[in-house]
Structure 1
């Protein structure tokens, strides 16, 4: 894979049944977005979902964001990656992460190791003794890197990083850590809502599942947010920083700020009321033209 287009989509695809997921993937492709990224967490299994999405589209790049290193051993991930690229003409991007201790230990029943050491060991096994590097176009692999040491590892061993729940300031720091040659693909939540109170309510609901997780919380503190700003679901400053809201111009300014800070690719995630099933399509249609 030599190039990833500038604008992509991130969405919690487990919200959809098969018919809805098929239609969503085709809509993302028809609107001209470069890539569709999807999570694993407690929803659809990552490799199976990747195969489905690739099978429903023709040109769209598809990326796991992220496949947990605790969900399958490195050999299975390598074979899955190879298989999906073989059947799709090289359209699959393997995004890997260390997940979070509660998910790994309570849900999967594994011991949660030291994140940096666990990821390094996994990437070493994933490459194998004589295979191409994980930055090779046939093996495009990313790390969900937030902190400085994980970003360094992404630079050293993979094609780049896919940070989540970040700001343009983090993008600036990540670019410095990765250097000019590695890919930096960042997720940005958006809410096309000019009523600030409603936008912040939706942002708080969207972020509540992430607030207790140390990986994200520690990163927000590194970025300069305070414990007071993170308390009680986050204050207005924090919510506005994490979920770009307002009219199209206001949201585009935040996405542009990521590009100015060094992002190669920004994947936007629509944030909306759960019962507003047409909201993702509306938002994606509104922002596709500034690809």
Structure 2
């Protein structure tokens, strides 16, 4: 990796860290500080996140990289995001990465031409009063066209819901230089039936979104794999689970395939609330991280 982003090998991907409700915000700053001390290199704020979410956690941490994962290009004008980012940069230099995505047609009323719209958004970031450097932004890219845009106009790509086979193909599109930092779902459960049941609690949601379905079909998954909330083959490709040793070995496969950094998302049973701090601690131990 030569992108210049000091994110280390392992980070945490967490929608919980950008909670909006006051009752759920309590302790998030403390949780972010603990993740930093555990040795994770970056916090990827999952869901529809913004510079404002990152700013809250920057105030409670010292060095860990904070990234949106992702900021939708349909939510705020590029000039506004650029100005917000400049303000955060003045207070906390070199701590923030702007993760951008084009979202999905099912979620955006006026969705159109995602690649062209993303390119125009990047143009606006380049020409803003306080430009966002290409080296401080990454794109949520899956297909080859968006991967090429990430290669040419940003520090790299943050693909979602992928396995090692996809990583090898994406690295071929990106080339050696750009950052390849996939989100990786992790279930800390060694019993196969239980682990796969947890995975099937969240996977079907993504099957309904054409971008994800198309990407999985490009990788060779068929109707049979999508049936019944996901075949064992699909679950085992997309979700890391098992004993501590199995989890460690499986994550190594992503790195061997060409990933530079893994944005690890702890997956739990439906209805689990709050940040999974105990699971994060266990994961740091599995990975033998040091601050």
- What TM-score comes out, normalization by structure 1 length? 0.90
Aligned equivalents of 2:5 and 2:272: distance in 1?
A: 37
Aligned equivalents of 2:66 and 2:24: distance in 1?
A: 18
Corresponding residue for residue 34 of structure 2: 27
Where does 1:1-291 land on structure 2 (aligned, <5 Å)? 2-13=5-16, 14=18, 17-41=24-48, 45-105=49-109, 111-128=110-127, 134-136=133-135, 140-274=136-270, 280-289=276-285, 290=287, 291=289
Bigger shift: residues 7-16 or 253-262: 7-16
Change beyond 3 A, Cα 1:278–1:121: closer
- Could you tell me how far 1:128 is from its partner in structure 2? 1.1
- Could you tell me how far 1:284 is from its partner in structure 2? 2.1
Gaps of 5+ in 2: none
- Could you tell me how far 1:277 is from its partner in structure 2? 5.6
Change beyond 3 A, Cα 1:134–1:223: farther
CA contact (8 A) 1:188 1:266 kept: yes
CA contact (8 A) 2:164 2:237 kept: no
Q: What CA deviation, in whole Å up to 9, does each residue of 1:97-122 have, x standing for no partner?
A: 001112211xxxxx101111111111
Aligned equivalents of 2:34 and 2:272: distance in 1?
A: 17
Change beyond 3 A, Cα 1:103–1:20: farther
Change beyond 3 A, Cα 1:217–1:278: same
CA contact (8 A) 1:8 1:268 kept: yes
Instruction: Give the root-mean-square deviation of aligned CA atoms.
Output: 2.1
Aligned equivalents of 1:205 and 1:38: distance in 2?
A: 21
CA contact (8 A) 1:8 1:267 kept: yes
Change beyond 3 A, Cα 1:21–1:175: same
- Could you tell me how far 1:135 is from its partner in structure 2? 3.0
Q: In the comparison of the two structures, how many residue pairs are matched?
A: 280
- Could you tell me how far 1:2 is from its partner in structure 2? 4.4
Q: Secondary structure at the match of 1:101?
A: coil
- What TM-score comes out, normalization by structure 2 length? 0.90
Aligned equivalents of 2:128 and 2:65: distance in 1?
A: 28
Aligned equivalents of 1:116 and 1:276: distance in 2?
A: 35
Q: Secondary structure at the match of 2:165?
A: helix
